[in-house]
Amino acid sequence: MANKKTFSTRIDAGRLKALKHLAVDEDKSIGLLLEEAIDELINKYKKSKGR
C-alpha cells in the first residue's frame, strides 16, 4: 500500500481523544492505527460474506 491517498472524515470528540491516547500508549501514529482498524473491518466483512 505504498500509494497512499489523503481523505478526511469527522469523528466524535470522545473517540478522537481515545484514539490519540491509544496512539501514544502503543507508540504508533493515528494513521497507522486507522489503517489497522480498516484492514480488520474489511476482513470481517469479507469473512461474513464468504469471500
Residue corresponding to grid cell 482498524: 37
pLDDT at residue 1 is higher than 60: no
Q: Is residue 2 part of a domain?
A: no
Helices (H), 1-51: 13-26, 30-48
pLDDT tens for each residue of 8-46: 999 999 999 999 999 999 999 999 999 999 999 999 999
23 by Cβ neighbours in 10 Å (0-12 / 13-18 / 19+) ranks as middle
Q: What is the pLDDT of residue 51?
A: 65
The tally of CA atoms less than 13 A away on the side-chain side of residue 37 is 10
Structural domain of 43: 13-48
How many separate domains does the chain show?
Answer: 1
Q: Is residue 4 part of a domain?
A: no
pTM of the model: 0.82
